[in-house]
Structure formats: structure tokens, C-alpha cells
Structure 1
Amino acid sequence: MERNFTLMSYNCKSVKTAVGDIRHLCQKADIIALQETWLLPHDIPFLDTISSDFEYSGTSAVDTSAGILKGRPYGGVAILWRKGIFKTVSVLQCRNPRITAIKGMLCDRSVIVVSVYMPTNSLENLPVFTECLSEVIAIVEGNEVESVFVLGDFNAHPNELFCNELVSFCSEQNWVCADIEILGVGSDHYTFVSDAHGCRRWLDHCIVTQSAWRTIRGVEIDTNVYSSDHLPLIITCNFNIIRNKTYVTGVQRNNVIWGGRDNAQIKRYREICNSRLRNICFPDEFRICGDKRCKILGHKYVLDKMYNDIVGILAGASEQTCSARTCCPRGGPGKDKRVAGWNKHVLSAHRDAKMKYRIWLLHNKPQSGIVYQHMLETRKRFKSKLNWCLKNQEQIKMDRLATLHAAKNFPKFWTSTNKLNIKPSLPVSVGDQSEPRAIANMFMEHFKVQSPLGSSSTVFDGGAEVDQLPVRFTAKQVAMVINKMSRGKSPGHDGLSIEHFKLA
């Protein structure tokens, strides 16, 4: 049965002033991300008095060690979550007072919820904005959780500096700005009304990972709150469809690249696999259960365990029969990740950005002036050129080969082919087509990959419900498919390559 959860983001402009509205939101929400709480460090426990049904975590932005506080408090973020919604909750360490985050466990699922409060939209504050986003990524990568919800006041109105930077960030990380994606960037929605000028702006957002994006069922803005000049952003989700990655316990993924092996090694690998696989019992749960659409959680655990056992045997056997010379190339996987076109398109911009950044550090990180402007401009230029190269890797490779071919520099042509991991089978002579672009187009057409079945119209998520009957197949069909698979492909997330299956 589907159980929807409600997440809210609300810039309350002082928790103590808006406590009535926040208590009202607690009746409708399961998780509330608050910004501008205006609490001093010793006032954080005030969050516990808002609702007896909620737990809390908060951060004060006020540095009381600086001396006597002048004026009102400022900043501060917090997260409230309904008791019992998570099996366990851990508060994640955040070095930036503009960020607070929690990690919640839902049975076998994990989610991270982050509340952020960004500075005012201006060129001078752009480094602070990007630093906060970098801190969020560090938190996510440090906890290895796929489903992440980042809510808050980003001060990012569509088509302005911060929003453009936020869109660029989501594109680079393959994240989604959920509210803009669902409500539409061209709509008349807003989350902020200026008390001074009456202007309406869309400053509050929710950015999510791809795994979290699949859980979202709706987005809306609550216009019935009056304590603050911001309006709550409401995200409705179904956490039940979240499934974590299946990790193989006890196996170091990608520790062994299959590499070249002699017949004796392959024979030994097959013998180890067969002797160990015989000891795996087919679970009784699969014989007893007659439900073709079984959703029993215990059966999923049994299936995952059997999968882990099989993968562990194959990976362990390959490691046991591996020699360092043939299986583990010097430097290990991932040590030499070249960016095609770096020297030609990116290197000079990278040097300039690095030099200007060091000059900026030597001047004690000024937030304005010519040194600061040069640092920002060179950084933006480097980032732009790097992104362009990353998005046009294949075209840059083909252009490089086409230029060498047109110049009849065949030694470098084949050397570049090996370095770029391309195996062209085109004839050496291409007639009168000496123009590099024409040759590049020939390469592009030659290496284009198209499915003979055409494009797929529907993609089913592993956790989604499918109405069709399960696909049935025989062991003979599985063996036939494995035997026809091409070798030399990259390993999957479990560290296994095609060779592990073909030679087992």
C-alpha cells in the first residue's frame, strides 16, 4: 500500500515569531526544513517545544564568541521530522552554518534530507553559494546514499545568477530541481513576496538525486502562511519505492580486472567456481511462494543474499586465479582518466585560473576588487571550457584522428587510436575526402550504435510496479545469451565482467 510522505521547506524569519505557523505545518508535514531560524546557540533546544510529535536538529549562524551581540540574530537552519517516520536517524556533521542534514533509515532504505540557506544573489556571494553546494556533495559522497533531498532558500530566482549556477550544478551532478521541473520555469509561481516593494520571486527550491526524483508525486506552494515573507514549498513523496544499491559484501569491487589469462588460469577459475557454486542451495522460499508478483520483503532479502553469494564466489575465484602481471595493470583502474582536448582547449584556462586563485589567496581572499574579479572570471572560463570538452569527447577524438589521417601521419594516427581506446576498421584510403570534417563524419557514422529493435518507449524502474506477467526463460536460453555476449567490456557495479560469466 502506497504511503506518501510530505516534505516542506520554509524560511520562517525567526522561529519564535512564526511558531504558530510552524505548528500548523507540523499537522500536514512529515519533515520540515527551516531557514533563518534566528536562534542563538543556546536557543536551539527551543525547536523541541514546537511539537511533541517531532524531533529536531538545528544550527545557529550566530558567533557568540565574538563579543556582545549587536542587533537581532541572523541566519540559522533546522530540520524537524515526525517521530517514528524513520527507524533510526543520525545527524550528519556539517562544517558550514548555512547547512544542516540528517540521514534517516526506512527498513532497508536510506534517505538524506538537507536544509540550506544561501546568501543574497550577487556576484560577490557566488563563491559562498558554490561552496555550500560543494559541501552538500561532500556530505552525500561521504555517506553513500542515493536518495537525497536538498530543500531551502537558495535565493535563486529563475534566469538570474544563482539560479543559472544551480541549474548548471544539477546538470553536472545529474540531479533535478524538482519544483522547477514539475511547476515549470515559465510559470507564475513564487515563494517570496517583498514587504517593501511587493515584488514576487521564486527563491525556494528542492533539488534531488535521480533516485529521490522517482519518489516525488507532487509539488505545491502553500499560500496560507503569513508570519514570513516566504511561502512554504511542499514536496509529496513515496519513500516506499526507494531501493538501495545491492552491494556485494566482502568483495572489493574492481579490485581485479580480468585481463589476459592463460588456459591453466581459466581452467583453475572454472574448477573453483563449479566446486563452490554447487554448495549454494536454492532457497525454499522460491519453491513455496506461488505469487508471480511477490512483494514479501523477506523473500527480497533471501534473493539478495543468494545474489551476493554467487557474485562473491565469481569475484573471489577470479582474484584467487589472478596474477598481478596479467590481471592488474600498473597504476590500477581509474588512474589515467584523460580528458580529450585538454591540452588544446583547457590547459591555458586551467593555468590562468590556478594562478589567479593563488593571487586571490595571497591577498587574504578579498570579496571585491580587481583581484577578486579576475579570480571569478578565470574560474568561470576554465569551468566553461572543461564542460565543453566533457560534453564533446567523441567529436574531439574523431576530429583528432581525422586531422592526422588527412596529414597522412599514420604512425601518430594509430598511436592516438590506441590512446583514445578506439578501434577503427575503415580503409586507409578514403578517396578525395581529405577534409578532416568529412573523415570525422565517416568515423561518426561507422561507430554509431543503434539497437535493431528501435528506441524503447518505456523504461521500468526496479522498484516500480509492472502489470505484465513476469518473463519466463530456461537455463538453456540463459547459457545461449551468455555465450553470445562480447568480451572486453567494463565491469558492472558488482565488479564482474562478461568473462566472469562466460568462463565460469
Structure 2
Amino acid sequence: MSNKVSIISYNCQCANDSKLPFLRELFDECDFMLIQEHGLYKSQFGWFDNINEVNGVGKHGMSAMNEEKQSAGRPYGGTAIIWKHGLNVKVEPKITESDSKRLSAVIVTLENQKRLLLGSIYMPCDDRCQNANLVEFQQVLNEIDILMNELNPDFACFGGDFNTDVSRDTFQTRCFLNFFADYHICTQDELCDFDFTFSSKGSNHKSLIDHFVLTDSLVEALQVYECIDTVNNFSDHVAVKCQLDLYMSEFSDISEHEEQTKKCYNWSIANQEELDRYVDMLSEILHLLVIPYCALNCREKHCQRHSRELNEFHDKIVDACLNAAFHVMCKSSQKPKCKVIPGWNEHVEVYFKNALLATAIASGSTRSFWSEVKKYNRSKNVSRYPNVDGVQGKDSIAGMFADKFDGLYNSVSSVNWIW
């Protein structure tokens, strides 16, 4: 594989033989293809080999079709990622804990051992309401969040039919923008030169709902971002292509300053003189920053312009702290083994787990609920029989609960319950 990696995202609206000519055209132009709404059963994934009749394709996907049921109407849903054989990379399929049918993901290990997370996404329709579709939309975002935190890749690229037009002010659009802003993942809509990616053949309604989303570390690597559409395209969607140069100097030749700022600053051994110098230098740098007063005083909750200004201001403050520490602080020789988020365990983790559990309950999915309960209670050091109100041992605890329930049950006289 050359320095440039080409990725195409395409909602094919049912993978069948009539779609093969266009799929073959697209596959000739890319290394990886992210496919949505293929409508295939899991047992039919061998059909993807028809896209490259000579060598076949590498493939990983999720099916929304139930093998045990006879489905009426046209096939629906599903996501997949296919790639060319012979690429000098290692591709590992990743399956989310909820087994989501709307997200297929692979980890691509490059020649320089950098790891790229690729995801093909097919989101539910935006009906502009706070209902089951929005809950499902948030569940897919949660799965992305879990993958990012568990795999901690060097880069991430998500492409697909997000069913979200960022020009609309809807609940789903706000959720989309807020989520990716929080994780410093930027949409590339502002770089494209096309007005739509979906055009309804029935109503001719047009919208830009197919996107690529990149981590900040890939923004400078983006070389091409374009649409592909020919007479062989029988889908309402056009294909979207992005080309990344993953071996640019920004990634291979890390400067001494960048290398140093990646190290841990050993605050515990810093003397008072170093701390005073750090405070003085940080104060000097911060005094040079221009404070965005209009953005700070804005009371519009979803103001995009001021959100960008605040994010930029935040990044400048972080850079100021790192620059001051780089010049005056002692540095340890060890790098952190994993991505560390200060204060996560103390202030965030319990709320994050509660939010995932609440989402699972709200969705009405029994499987998702118990999956979240299992993750919530996961611990290596949990006592088998805990202490409950001073009572220990499984038999004693069970007896206590029985007594409490018996007292509660007998404390209420006959009531005519109305359901």
C-alpha cells in the first residue's frame, strides 16, 4: 500500500447484481470501502467477492437481516467494510459489545505500527423528534465512544450514512455535533465542494447526510474529499471518497517539542523554584491570549460559531500549560501506558456508566440492558458476599430481604390496583 490510503463510503441500498458495475468502479479507486444498507444475510457475505472476481475481497460486516425469519419486502440495513487483498497492513475486525448492526469496525495496523480505527456507520432516519430513533442514534455514538476508549487508536476514521444534515437544527444534528466536538473529532463538511449526497428519486429532495468524520490527528493528512457518481449508480446516494496521507512528516518526523510534551511531568519531584517558574511563565503566556468575551457571554445553547471559538480558546489554554511545563518542569522518562484523562475515575466514570445504563433502559432492549448491567458491575475485586446493613453471608442477607419484604407486604391492606 502506498503512502496514500483511499477510503470510499457508499450506501448501496441493497447489494445485488444490478449494483455490481458501480461497486466495481468504486473498488478500483480505493483501498477500503465502507458500505451501508447492503441488506444481506450474514450467510450471504460471500457475495462481496463478486466485486473483485479475480482475487475476492477482505470483508467484515454486520447484518440486520434475521436468518431465522422469512423477511417480507426488500432487504434492509446492515453495514460492511471490504478491502483489497495484498495491502501491506494488518486488518482486525472489531465487534461491539452490543453487537450493533449499524456499526462495522476494523483496526488497521500500518507498516509503522500506527493503528487506524475504521468504521462504517448507518444511522437511523432523522424524524426531528425525541423518540426511539434518537435513542438508537445515541446508542451507536456510545458504541463509537467505547471503541475509542478501549482501543485507543492513533487515528480514527468513520464514514457512512449518518442520516444527519448539519444544516438542520434538529435533536439528532445537535447530538451529532456535540458528540464529535466533545471527542475532538471534526467533521469535514466544510472542506467538501458538493451540495448533497442523497437525492430522492421520488421527490427529488436533496440533502447532505453522508459524511466522513476524522480525528484531529488526521485533518492534516486529508488530501482528497470528493463525491463519485456515474450512470451506473442506481442508489439514491452518491459515493463519498477521502484520501489520507498517513506518512506525512506530521506523523513520521515528530519534533523534539512534540516528543517532550508527550512525556509525563513528574510534579511530585518538582521543587518550589520550578513551580514558581512554571506559574510565572504560564501567567505570561496566558496574558497574551485574546479572551473571546462574546463567546463566553453567549446564551444560545447550540451556537456553532461560538462553540468553535470556545474549543479553540480551550486548546490554546491547554497548549499554554504544556509549553510552560516543557520549559521549566522535570520530565519522567516513562510515557503513560494508555490514554489518561485526569479526574475521570473520581468525577466522570460513575455518571458515564449511569448514562449508558439509562440509555439501555430507555431503549426497551432487554439485551442491551443486561449488557450494560454486566459492564457496570464488572470488577476484579468484588467481594462474593458483601456486607448489607451489617448482615454478612448469602443466607443471612437473603433472610433479611425476605423479612423486609414480608413486613412491607403485610403493611398494606387489600387494595384494588388499577393498571
Q: TM-score, normalised by structure 2?
A: 0.59
* Residues 47-446 of structure 1 mapped to structure 2, 5 A cutoff: 47-51=48-52, 52=55, 54-65=57-68, 67-94=69-96, 95-108=99-112, 109-122=114-127, 123=129, 124=131, 125-160=133-168, 161=170, 162-178=172-188, 180-183=189-192, 189-224=195-230, 225-241=232-248, 243=251, 258=268, 314=333, 334=343, 361=361, 364=364
- Contact 1:7 1:234 survives alignment (8 Å): yes
Counterpart code for 2:212: C
Give the SS at the match of 1:18. Answer: helix
Q: Deviations over 1:136-155 (max 9, x none)?
A: 12112211112111000001
CA distance in 2, matches of 1:47, 1:226: 17
Give the SS at the match of 2:146. Answer: helix
CA distance in 1, matches of 2:201, 2:109: 40
Q: Deviations over 1:66-112 (max 9, x none)?
A: x3322232101111112232421111112211000111111122211
Structure 1 residue 201, shift from structure 2 partner: 1.0
Residue equivalent to 1:5: 5
Counterpart code for 1:58: G
Pair 1:18-2:19 in alignment: yes
Structure 1 residue 171, shift from structure 2 partner: 1.3
- Contact 1:110 1:244 survives alignment (8 Å): no
Q: Percent identity?
A: 21
- Contact 2:135 2:362 survives alignment (8 Å): no
Structure 1 residue 213, shift from structure 2 partner: 1.7
CA distance in 1, matches of 2:358, 2:61: 35
Quick one: structure 1 residues 24 and 14, their matched pair in 2 at CA, closer, same or farther if it must change by over 3 Å? same
Quick one: structure 1 residues 99 and 84, their matched pair in 2 at CA, closer, same or farther if it must change by over 3 Å? same
- Contact 1:147 1:211 survives alignment (8 Å): yes
Q: Deviations over 1:275-330 (max 9, x none)?
A: xxxxxxxxxxxxxxxxxxxxxxxxxxxxxxxxxxxx998559xxxxxxxxxxxxxx
Counterpart code for 2:142: S
Counterpart code for 2:100: N
Unaligned runs of 5+ in 2: 255-262, 273-329, 336-341, 367-419
Counterpart code for 1:43: Q
Structure 1 residue 256, shift from structure 2 partner: 7.2
CA distance in 1, matches of 2:2, 2:74: 45
Larger radius of gyration: 1
> How many positions carry a matched residue from both structures?
278
CA distance in 2, matches of 1:362, 1:2: 46
Unaligned runs of 5+ in 1: 247-252, 263-310, 317-332, 340-349, 367-504
Counterpart code for 1:101: A
- Contact 2:139 2:359 survives alignment (8 Å): no
Give the SS at the match of 2:179. Answer: helix
Give the SS at the match of 1:228. Answer: coil
Structure 1 residue 363, shift from structure 2 partner: 10
- Contact 1:44 1:59 survives alignment (8 Å): no
Give the SS at the match of 1:14. Answer: coil
Structure 1 residue 191, shift from structure 2 partner: 0.6
Quick one: structure 1 residues 138 and 194, their matched pair in 2 at CA, closer, same or farther if it must change by over 3 Å? same
CA distance in 2, matches of 1:335, 1:56: 36
- Contact 1:216 1:236 survives alignment (8 Å): yes
Give the SS at the match of 2:268. Answer: coil
| Aligned alpha-carbon RMSD (Å) | 3.6
- Contact 2:196 2:207 survives alignment (8 Å): yes
- Contact 2:62 2:100 survives alignment (8 Å): no
- Contact 1:57 1:79 survives alignment (8 Å): yes
Q: Deviations over 1:311-352 (max 9, x none)?
A: 998559xxxxxxxxxxxxxxxx7378669xxxxxxxxxx9xx
CA distance in 2, matches of 1:38, 1:335: 40
CA distance in 1, matches of 2:155, 2:110: 12
Counterpart code for 1:183: C
Counterpart code for 2:208: W
Residue equivalent to 2:41: 40
- Contact 2:135 2:359 survives alignment (8 Å): no
Give the SS at the match of 2:58. Answer: strand
Q: Deviations over 1:241-267 (max 9, x none)?
A: 274899xxxxxx9797525899xxxxx
Counterpart code for 2:246: F
- Contact 1:2 1:240 survives alignment (8 Å): no
Q: TM-score, normalised by structure 1?
A: 0.49
CA distance in 2, matches of 1:254, 1:157: 41
Quick one: structure 1 residues 315 and 219, their matched pair in 2 at CA, closer, same or farther if it must change by over 3 Å? closer
- Contact 1:34 1:115 survives alignment (8 Å): yes
- Contact 1:86 1:104 survives alignment (8 Å): no
Q: Deviations over 1:152-188 (max 9, x none)?
A: 000111322233322222211111112x12027xxx6
